[in-house]
Amino acid sequence: MNEPLPVSRVADEVIRAVLQTPVIDMHTHIYSTSFGTPVANAAGPADPGGLLLWGIDEMLTYHYLVAEAFRVRPADEMPYETFWRLSKQDQADHVWRCLFVERTPVSEAAKGLLTTLQALGLELPVSGLSGLRRWFAEQDPDDYIDRVMEVANIDKMTMTNAVFDDAERARWDAGITPDSRFDAVLRIDPVLRDWPAAAAAMRGMGYGVADDLSGGSVSEGRRFLLDWAGRMKAVYLAASLPPSFAFTDGGPGRPLGEQAFARIVLPACRDLGVPFAMMIGARRAANPALGDAGDMTGRADIEAVTNICAAFPGNRFFVTMLSRENQHELCVAARKFGNLMIFGCWWFLNNPSLVEEITRMRVELLGTTFIPQHADARVLDQMIYKWRHSRPIIARVLAAKYEDLVGTGWPVTPKTIERDVRLLLRDNYLNFIAPR
């Protein structure tokens, strides 16, 4: 088992390790069943505001696919308002017709639906969606979560818990039963993106914060974060940030979001002993009529990241960036700062060609000290395709590197491969959220 491998056996060993190692997924938008599900199922009727999305109609109306459907039938043929007024099932039928009937589903997100159905052992719906709709309606969501996790080989996943979202907060207030398959992540975009709006919301929840950060704002803001992080048992705090995100020193005179970050958010993370995740490069609502599908990518300034990592050595930062052009400098930044952990090929980067390029560059610059991927699934079933598509790519990149090593005479054993793959798929994350 622990003999050095001949070069001819390396690729098989790597693929085995990458497929067999259970992943801990550090960024998804999947919720446990206590948050309710809008999908009618074997265990009960639809809960219209429920947050756990799953099933064929949710998969087809994923915003990645909605954007693609509007390329096939643009707004002059299917006005945005008309589409949004349709029932979920009619929207799904429309997307199905555009992307699977009138066109061939070769895009990453379209193929992903097929990968998922195939992995679940379902017939591909060449003759329509009704059979699939019946099958999903017969599932009990709680058992179905287990099934998806087993097929995707996932140990645990994080939710994205947007505390400034009234609908989500109402669910917490109504009472959530802990579910060991999920960890919470306290998501706080408005604090950094729009301080006055965040302050108004916090005041509404009984915290004494002012629009201009005066008076007791700093201690009250921290109290808000500590209360909610404690209540959710959040494993880290997070925000998605625009390409224009900047940080110099967080001092007086700097934008309020930057000051709040330095004076409220990062001290709270230190008190809690948890990292802060920055997802940088999403320009919201480039086309607002498209809803979630209308966001754009943009190149950001890496100096914000290096300034932050340098100024706050007592904090730990997960960082992912959305623009392909930022990837190299982000790797270089991670070489400078031990408190920076790069993660995932985010959103528009989660395509095989880019995952391969980015993962190879990361291995070359950072060895095994990064987190190669997260699913970012919004619909439970997508966990399957996101990981089925990424795993072979990660394995391919690693295998080529080990083969090169064998060429130098360095012994590469199954144990070394297993250790490295565990680091990449779970331990780097676990060690970063709870350092020894």
Residue 154 Cβ vs ligand RAT, minimum distance, rounded to whole Å: 17
Cβ proximity to ligand RAT, 184 vs 363, nearer residue: 184
Cβ proximity to ligand RAT, 222 vs 378, nearer residue: 378
**Taking CB under 6 A as the rule, which mask of x and - marks residues 158-177 in contact with ligand RAT?**
--x-----------------
H helix or E strand, kind and range, residue 432 = helix 428-433
Residue 323 Cβ vs ligand RAT, minimum distance, rounded to whole Å: 14
DSSP state of 177: -
Rounded to a whole number, what is the distance in angstroms from the first to the last CA of the chain?
29
Pairing of strands 161-162, 182-187: parallel
Q: Which of 292, 303, 325, 404 binds ligand RAT (CB under 6 A)?
A: 292
How many residues at the interface with ligand RAT, by CB under 6 A?
9
Q: Distance between CA atoms of 146 and 38, rounded to whole angstroms?
A: 19
Q: CA angle at residue 357 from 356 to 363, to 5 degrees?
A: 85
Signed CA dihedral, 39, 41, 43, 45: sign only: positive
Residue 134 Cβ vs Zn ion, minimum distance, rounded to whole Å: 31
> Which of ligand RAT, Zn ion, none sits in contact with 249, Cβ below 5 to 8 A by type?
none
Residues between 329 and 348 with contacts to ligand RAT, criterion CB under 6 A: 347
Cβ proximity to ligand RAT, 164 vs 347, nearer residue: 347
Pairing of strands 154-158, 23-25: parallel
DSSP state of 319: E
Tell me which amino acid residue 61 is.
T
Cβ proximity to Zn ion, 261 vs 343, nearer residue: 343
Residue 1 Cβ vs ligand RAT, minimum distance, rounded to whole Å: 39
Cβ proximity to ligand RAT, 67 vs 394, nearer residue: 67
Residue 9 Cβ vs Zn ion, minimum distance, rounded to whole Å: 38
Cβ proximity to Zn ion, 135 vs 164, nearer residue: 164
Going by C-alpha positions, the residue among 67, 147, 152, 160 that lies closest to residue 109 is 67
> Which of ligand RAT, Zn ion, none sits in contact with 240, Cβ below 5 to 8 A by type?
ligand RAT
How many residues at the interface with Zn ion, by CB under 5 A?
1
Cβ proximity to ligand RAT, 29 vs 156, nearer residue: 29
Q: Which two tokens stand for residue 212?
A: 């201009």
> Which of Zn ion, ligand RAT, none sits in contact with 416, Cβ below 5 to 8 A by type?
none
Residue 29 Cβ vs Zn ion, minimum distance, rounded to whole Å: 6
DSSP helix, strand, coil percent of the chain (3-state; round to 5): 55, 10, 35
Residues between 161 and 190 with contacts to Zn ion, criterion CB under 5 A: none
Interface with ligand RAT, residue 378, by CB under 6 A = yes
- List of long-range contacts for 175-182, beta carbons under 8 Å, 24+ apart: 175/34, 176/32, 176/34, 176/35, 177/32, 177/34, 178/233, 179/32, 179/33, 179/34, 180/156, 181/32, 181/145, 181/146, 181/149, 181/156, 181/157, 182/30, 182/31, 182/32, 182/156, 182/157, 182/158
Can you spell out the DSSP letters for 332-347?
Answer: HHHHH-TTEEEB---G
Q: Which of 108, 220, 258, 376 binds ligand RAT (CB under 6 A)?
A: 376
> Which of ligand RAT, Zn ion, none sits in contact with 102, Cβ below 5 to 8 A by type?
none
DSSP state of 41: B
Residue identified by tokens 């598509």 is: 389
Residue 91 Cβ vs ligand RAT, minimum distance, rounded to whole Å: 17
Residue nearest Zn ion by beta-carbon distance = 376
Residues between 235 and 274 with contacts to ligand RAT, criterion CB under 6 A: 240
Going by C-alpha positions, the residue among 431, 433, 415 that lies closest to residue 423 is 431
Cβ proximity to ligand RAT, 312 vs 343, nearer residue: 343
Cβ proximity to Zn ion, 19 vs 296, nearer residue: 296
Residue 412 Cβ vs ligand RAT, minimum distance, rounded to whole Å: 35
Query: Contact at 8 Å (CB) between 276 and 236?
Result: yes
Cβ proximity to Zn ion, 13 vs 168, nearer residue: 168
Q: How many CA atoms lie within 13 A of 340 on its CB side?
A: 26
Residues between 352 and 411 with contacts to Zn ion, criterion CB under 5 A: 376
Binding site for ligand RAT (CB under 6 A): 29, 160, 240, 279, 282, 292, 347, 376, 378
Q: Which residues bind Zn ion (CB under 5 A)?
A: 376
